[in-house]
Amino acid sequence: MTDHAMHPPSPKTMTGGMVAVLYGAVTYLLFLGTFLYAIAFVANLPVPKTIDSGQPGPFVPSLIINALLLGVFAIQHSLMARPFFKRWWTRIVPPSVERTTYVLFASLALLLLYWQWRPMPDAVWSVTDPTAATILQTISWIGWGIVLASTFMINHFELFGLRQVLARLLGRELPAPEFKTPMLYKNVRHPIYLGFLIAFWATPVMTVGHLLFAVATTGYILIGIWLEERDLIALFGDKYRRYREQVSMLIPLPRRKADR
């Protein structure tokens, strides 16, 4: 007879697990809606608010507000992902919902950005040739596809907290993190970030507001990579150091041979 059979989960434990799963599922649906809205927001698709829609206001206040909105997202996204913050945070929230809570706050930060973003519609460049414009739009869609596909190449449901809350409900321990480099990760270390960069920069009409968004997120991505790789080295040691030596950061290239 197994220990699980001898000691079935108590009603309190089961209730807590079900609440965690419900929390994880609702948060995931919120994230999914936020992600899909991001595509429409950046591409100026027909949704209530996009990066260039609305009545523009004075330039300097718009610049300050947009920069602050981008800063709120960047600080939240980076701070809550750091190991020292997780160690402190899991004293307050159960470890099984730590990732879900991170996803919730990230989604709320993005929703705040969509809501309060100030349009800055002056054109930096505008591609008027229909074929060239279609090519740029297609490249942008490819970028979004790379983002989503890359999450499934690692573990989409763990990345967004569902695997953790399900494990709690079932009373299972998640395995220790394992270093893997599936598919695109064999030729580029950060395909998710690569996809975002492609999606943000490939546009037939680049306005001042869109340029601010693209420049700020690119800067954040580069800083985020530095912080993330520092954490990965601390977690995986020489395995990640060798990977970093052999594989390009953002530009897909043939894998380099390791130095002997």
State how far the Cα of 189 lies from the Cα of 175, in Å rounded to an integer. Answer: 23
Q: Is residue 4 part of a domain?
A: no
State whether residue 207 is helix, strand or coil: strand
254 occurs within a structural domain? no
Instruction: Give the model's pLDDT for residue 254.
Output: 78
Contacts of 64 (CB under 8 A, 6+ apart): none
pLDDT of residue 215: 97
Over residues 147-192, the pLDDT tens digits come to: 999 999 998 888 888 888 888 878 888 888 888 889 899 999 999 9
pLDDT at 181: 86
Residue 228 is assigned to a structural domain of this protein: yes
> Has residue 23 got a pLDDT over 50?
yes
Tell me, yes or no, whether 251 lies in a domain. Answer: no
Does the pLDDT of residue 12 top 50, yes or no? yes
To the question of pTM greater than 0.85 for the whole model, the response is: yes
Counting residues of the chain whose pLDDT is more than 70, the rounded percentage is: 93
Q: Is 1 within the bounds of a domain?
A: no
For the segment 61-78, the average pLDDT, to the nearest whole number, is: 95
The CA distance from 44 to 140, in Å, is: 12
Q: Which two tokens stand for residue 40?
A: 């429409």
The string of pLDDT tens digits covering residues 24-42 is 999 999 999 999 999 999 9
Domain count along the chain:
1
| pLDDT at residue 3 is higher than 80 | no
3-state secondary structure of 218: helix
44 dihedral zone (left: phi>0; alpha: psi -120 to 50; beta)? left
Instruction: Name, in order, each residue with C-beta under 8 angstroms of 186's C-beta and a sequence gap of 6 or more.
Output: 247, 255
18-22, 57-61, 185-189, 254-258: the lowest-pLDDT one: 254-258
With bands split at pLDDT 50, 70 and 90, how would you rate the model's confidence at 11?
Answer: low
CATH number at residue 182: 1.20.120
The three-class DSSP label of residue 125 is strand
d(CA 14, CA 258): 49
Phi, psi torsion values for 241, nearest 5 degrees: -60, -45
Alpha-carbon distance of 139 to 200, in angstroms, equals 10
Question: 254: which residues sit within 8 A by CB, 6+ positions away?
Answer: 187
The predicted model gives 192-216 an average pLDDT of 96
Residue 4 scores a pLDDT above 50: no
Considering only CA atoms, give the Rg of the chain.
21
Comparing CA positions, the residue from 61, 98, 93, 101 lying closest to residue 83 is: 98
Question: 151 is written with which tokens?
Answer: 């999450």
From 49, 75, 222, 199, select the one nearest 136 (Cα to Cα): 199
Per the domain annotation, does 42 fall within a domain? Answer: yes
In DSSP terms, 113 is beta-bridged to: none
Sign of CA dihedral 118, 122, 128, 132: negative
Residue with tokens 């970028």: 143
Which domain does 141 fall in, by range? 10-246
**Separation between Cα atoms, residue 132 and residue 110, nearest integer Å:** 30
Would you say residue 256 lies in a domain?
no
What gap in Å lies between CA 185 and CA 181, rounded to an integer? Answer: 5
pLDDT digits (tens, 9 = 90+) for 107-162: 999 999 999 999 999 999 999 999 999 999 999 999 999 999 999 999 888 888 88
Confirm whether 259 is domain-assigned.
no
The pLDDT value recorded for residue 1 is: 40
Average pLDDT over residues 229-235: 92
